[in-house]
């Protein structure tokens, strides 16, 4: 059974000999325009539903959908990993003293820095024949809180080094 996210409209190809009447060509063109608009609208809706509007990071709903299979896999021999919660200290004061635009800018800068740190991670490889490891996930879950989820980062020294860089 498929759901609405898996179904797609497809444009009708334009083979001129297939459509002898101008009205049919007009109908085809209108249909193809509608398919394009519906597809683009669907992409925009999904982006709005699963990403944070300020930072562009995945939001809590996206994190939950990505985290569920990773956490389920950890019960079946897939390498563990870490989940880090970041809460920005004194963020409320930034908003109160400098305004929400400054607070939003701070959130964007923090998101960018977290992505930079997680982008350079080297984690242990998955075992032959097992599922590949998920890419690190950085998500803003609300307010001044971020979550980083890194599958395969299990060595205590590597974890400490990552946390030191993150600070």
* Catalytic center residues: 144
Length of the chain: 167
In the sheet with 145-151, reading across from the earlier edge strand, the strands are: 81-87, 145-151, 137-142
Check residue 116 and give left, alpha or beta (phi > 0: left; psi -120 to 50: alpha): alpha
**Strand-strand pairing, 145-151 and 137-142:** antiparallel
- Asked if 94 contacts 102 with a C-beta cutoff of 8 angstroms, the reply is yes
Check residue 56 and give left, alpha or beta (phi > 0: left; psi -120 to 50: alpha): left
How far apart are alpha carbons 148 and 140 in whole angstroms? 9
SS3 of residue 164 by DSSP? helix
- Give the contacts of 132 (CB within 8 A, at least 6 positions apart): 126
């Amino acid at each position: 059974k498929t759901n609405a996210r898996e179904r797609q409209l497809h444009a009708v190809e334009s083979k001129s000999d297939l459509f002898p009447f101008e009205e049919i060509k007009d109908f085809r063109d209108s249909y193809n325009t509608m398919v394009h608009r519906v597809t683009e609208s669907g992409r925009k809706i999904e982006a709005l539903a699963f990403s944070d509007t300020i930072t562009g990071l995945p939001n809590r709903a996206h994190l939950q959908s990505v985290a569920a299979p990773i956490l389920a896999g950890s019960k079946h021999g897939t390498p563990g990993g870490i989940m880090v919660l970041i809460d920005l200290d004194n963020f409320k004061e930034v908003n109160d003293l400098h305004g929400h635009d400054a607070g939003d800018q701070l959130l964007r800068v923090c998101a960018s820095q977290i992505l930079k740190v997680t982008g350079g991670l080297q984690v242990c490889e998955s075992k032959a024949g097992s599922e590949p490891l998920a890419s690190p996930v950085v998500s803003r879950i609300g307010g001044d809180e971020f979550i980083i989820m890194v599958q395969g980062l299990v060595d205590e020294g590597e974890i400490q080094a990552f946390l030191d860089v993150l600070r």
